[in-house]
Structure 1
Amino acid sequence: MTGGGIAAIIAAVALLILVLFIGVVLVRASKILVEINRSLAVVTKDVDLLSKEAEDIMANANNLLEDVNGKVATLDPVFQAMADLGQSTSDLNEATRNLTNKITNPGKKTGKVSTALKVGKGAVNMYRERKNKA
């Protein structure tokens, strides 16, 4: 055997080892790709279920929001009535304060009324005395 023959055998063995290595790598890569496809199928199925559930949740949330808005609309008149009642109570309190102030501080009008009553009483007494004399 010559040097060229030995070189050819070494090259053939190296090529055979390279082919075997590439074959092993390709077999492993194909197994990985099959597993990836299975995983993608499972993930796709799960994502579909999650998206369906999310749509159901959104629909329920929309229904709940509409219900709450309707109930709030029915409660608005109650709060308005309570506000009106509060205003009426405030007005009544103010009127009571004003009346109390007028009673406790009679002022000039009471003095005039009392003077008029005294004059009227005196006039009635004078009338009675004249009537009794006659």
Structure 2
Amino acid sequence: MSGGEIAALIAAIAFAVLVLGLCYVLFKVANVVKELNTTIEEANKSLSTITKDADHLLIEVEGLLNKSNTTLDDVNGKLGLTDPLFRAIGDLGESVSSLNASTRNLTTHLSSASKKGASLGIAKKVSSSVKD
């Protein structure tokens, strides 16, 4: 064999090793792509299930919010009906306070008048006793 034939043989063997290496890599890549496709399909199924569940939950939440709004409107209406009651209680408190002030003034006035009257009454009794 000549040097050129040996070089060609080495090149052919190197090319065959290269092709075998590329085939091995391509088979591994094909397996990765298959697994990736399986994973993507499972992810799509999971997303579909999650979307359906989320839609169901959103419908339930919407119903709960509607009921909550109705209940809140009812409570607000009933609280609005109690406003006159609290207004009347406030007016009653003011009336009682005014009555207390008036009673205090009357008591003070009567107390001071009775002191004056008592001294006048004693003087009248003394003077009438003296005259008799």
- TM interval, shorter chain, is 0.7 to 0.9
- Residues 53-72 of structure 1: pairs in structure 2 closer than 5 A: 53-72=60-79
Tell me which amino acid in the other structure corresponds to 1:68: V
Task: Provide the rounded CA distance (Å) in 2 between the counterparts of 1:42 and 1:69.
Answer: 40
Report what 1:20 is aligned to.
27
State yes or no: 1:73 paired with 2:80.
yes
Identity of aligned residues (%): 36
Q: Following TM superposition, by how much is the alpha carbon of 1:107 offset from its aligned partner in structure 2, in angstroms?
A: 7.3
Aligned to 2:91: 84
* CA deviation profile, 1:61-89 (whole Å, cap 9, x unmatched): 21111111100111000001101111111
Within-5 A mapping of 1:94-109: 94-106=101-113
Aligned CA-pair RMSD: 2.3
* Aligned residue-pair number: 115
Q: How big is each residue's C-alpha offset from its partner over 1:34-70, in whole Å with a ceiling of 9 and x where there is no partner?
A: 1101110111112112211221121112111111110
Measure how far apart 1:8 and its partner are. Answer: 2.2
Q: TM-score if structure 1 supplies the norm length?
A: 0.76
Is 1:49 aligned with 2:72? no
Q: Which residue of 2 is the match for residue 130 of structure 1? A: none
1:128 aligns with none
Could you list the runs of 4 or more consecutive aligned residues of structure 1 that deviate by over 4 angstroms after TM superposition?
107-111
- Tell me the SS of whatever aligns to 1:105: helix
Q: Provide the secondary structure at the position in 2 that maps to 1:106.
A: helix
* Residue identity opposite 2:87 in structure 1: Q
- Structure 1 letter corresponding to 2:81: T
Unaligned runs of 5+ in 2: 1-5
CA–CA separation in structure 2 for the residues paired with 1:22 and 1:83:
84
For normalisation by structure 2, the TM-score amounts to 0.77
